[in-house]
Amino acid sequence: MLVKALRAGLGQLIVLGDAVSRPRPQRRSAQGQAAVEKEAARLSLYQFHACPFCVKTRRALHRLNVPMTLHDAKDDPVQREHLLAGGGKIKVPCLHIQEEGQSRWLYDSNAIIAYLEQRFAGIV
């Protein structure tokens, strides 16, 4: 019980730290941002609100100025089941990528951030 309380408290501290130190979003032309938004419409992130790796991934999304649908895989049983059925395991963060009629599930914050950087950082 004590460990659970400590974990919850630390999670909230991480969320607070993110809120006060969030990086500035990347600036783009209106056309560039429209292209990013169009591409991002095919992506969604399954996450837990206070998970440090999810916070790290959301910070990268904010910095890259990539608006994305976020799914709460902890408190929403429907989204949790979608993650399990689609990705095969309940592990967050998980980026769901839908392109060319294919569905791909990318786990691990570093892999997700590398994918986002490669796909969106160069759009101006």
10-54 per-position pLDDT tens digit = 778 878 888 888 889 999 999 999 999 999 999 999 999 999 999
Residue 53: what pLDDT? 96
Domain ranges of the chain: 2-120
48-87 per-position pLDDT tens digit = 999 999 999 999 999 999 999 999 999 999 999 999 999 9
Domain covering 2-120: architecture = 3-Layer(aba) Sandwich (3.40)
Q: Give all strands of the β-sheet with 94-99 in edge-to-edge order.
A: 69-72, 43-47, 94-99, 102-107
- How many other CB atoms sit within 10 Å of the CB of residue 115? 17
**Structure token digits, residue 20:** 């006060």
